[in-house]
Every structure is written in C-alpha cells, then in structure tokens.
C-alpha cells in the first residue's frame, strides 16, 4: 500500500512527465513571469497614453464652431502622434506576450543544453523589464501640459530600446535554436 501511495505522489509531483521542480522547467516558468511583467507594464503605458489622448483632445481640440471650423493643425498632429505611440506600445505588448520559447523536445536534449538556453533567454528577457517599467512610470506621471517634444523624445527612446531588446531576443533564439 505504501508503494502505491509513493508512486502516486511521484506521479503527481512529476505531473505525469513534467517535473515542476526541474531547473529547466523553473527557468521556463520564470521566463514567462518576466515577460508577463514587461507586457503588463506596457499595457499600463498604453492605457496612460489613451487617457492622455482623451485629455489632450478635451483640452486642446474643442468642439467645432462657426467661428473656428477647424482645430489647430499642430494640436491635431500632436494628437495623432499620441495615437501612433499608443498603437506602437500596444503592438510591443502583443509581441512580448507572443514571444516563442524553445519547445520541450527530447530529441533536441542531445544537442543543446536546454537549461542553459532558457537561462540565457531569461537574461535577455530581463532587459525588457527596465525600459518597460520606465515607460510606464513616465507616462503615468506626465501631464497634458507637459506633453511636448522632450516627453515625446523620451518615450520614443524607451520604445526603441524595448523594440531592440525584442529583436535581440529573437535573433538569439534563432541562432540558438
């Protein structure tokens, strides 16, 4: 009876073939957590941009009247820039959430060290967290009045850093896989 219970516990702990406590499986789960953290920060940044765009429209693009039938071109361009940045941030969030991870393949275990590959991948994913969180904090605190060329340049620099980190990760995975 004790052997049957021990075998059942062993099957439960190994999840019927998937050992949750193996180093490579923990690295795979950690990688997912890191990517989810980065994507969550980008989601919050996109929401901040949506709020900023709404406030900017309310404040600087008033309803059309007979006296002013057309809003200022500069304000419309700035509003369009906010919308484009919001779409770009949302696109980066989607790319991060859909990043591939090497498949668990018993045949490939002979040719590559999956644990080391996942740890290297995890280090590259950590490079995503810092610019994503900086972008989230910058956009969370920016006011409509302060949304000018400097704020735009800082946000675009962070977005470019995130894009570069995503490309670097994809290149590494292509070379390693």
SS3 string, 35-88, reads HHHHHHHHHHHHHHHHHHHHHHHHHHCCCCCCCCCCCCHHHHHHHHHHHHHHHH
Tens digits of residue pLDDT in 74-113: 989 999 999 999 999 999 999 999 998 876 666 656 666 7
107 contact partners, CB below 8 Å, separation of at least 6? none
Is 60 exceeded by the pLDDT of residue 16? no
- Give tens-digit pLDDT for 121-159: 888 888 889 999 999 999 999 999 999 899 999 999 999
Beta-carbon count within 10 A of 70 CB: 7
CA pair distance 131, 38, nearest whole angstrom: 9
Q: What span, in angstroms and rounded, lies between the C-alpha atoms of 162 and 128?
A: 6
Question: Where exactly are the structural domains of the chain?
Answer: 22-176
- The pTM of the whole model exceeds 0.85: no
Q: Which residues of 1-32 are buried (b: 16+ CB within 10 A; e: fewer)?
A: eeeeeeeeeeeeeeeeeeeeeeebbebbebbe
């Amino acid at each position: 009876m004790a052997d049957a219970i021990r075998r059942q516990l062993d099957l439960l702990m190994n999840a019927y073939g998937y050992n949750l406590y193996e180093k490579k499986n923990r690295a795979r789960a950690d990688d997912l957590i890191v990517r989810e953290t980065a994507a969550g920060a980008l989601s919050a940044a996109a929401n901040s941009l949506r709020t900023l765009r709404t406030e900017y429209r309310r404040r600087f693009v008033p309803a059309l009247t007979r006296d002013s039938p057309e809003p200022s071109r500069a304000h419309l361009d700035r509003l369009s820039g906010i919308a484009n940045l919001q779409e770009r941030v949302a696109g980066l969030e989607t790319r991060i959430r859909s990043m591939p991870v090497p498949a668990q393949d018993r045949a490939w275990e002979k040719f590559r060290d999956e644990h080391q590959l996942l740890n290297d991948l995890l280090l590259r994913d950590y490079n995503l967290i810092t610019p994503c969180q900086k972008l989230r904090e910058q956009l969370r605190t920016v006011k409509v009045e302060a949304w000018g060329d400097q704020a735009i340049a800082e946000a675009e620099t962070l977005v470019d850093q995130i894009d570069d980190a995503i490309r670097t990760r994809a290149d590494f995975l292509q070379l390693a896989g």
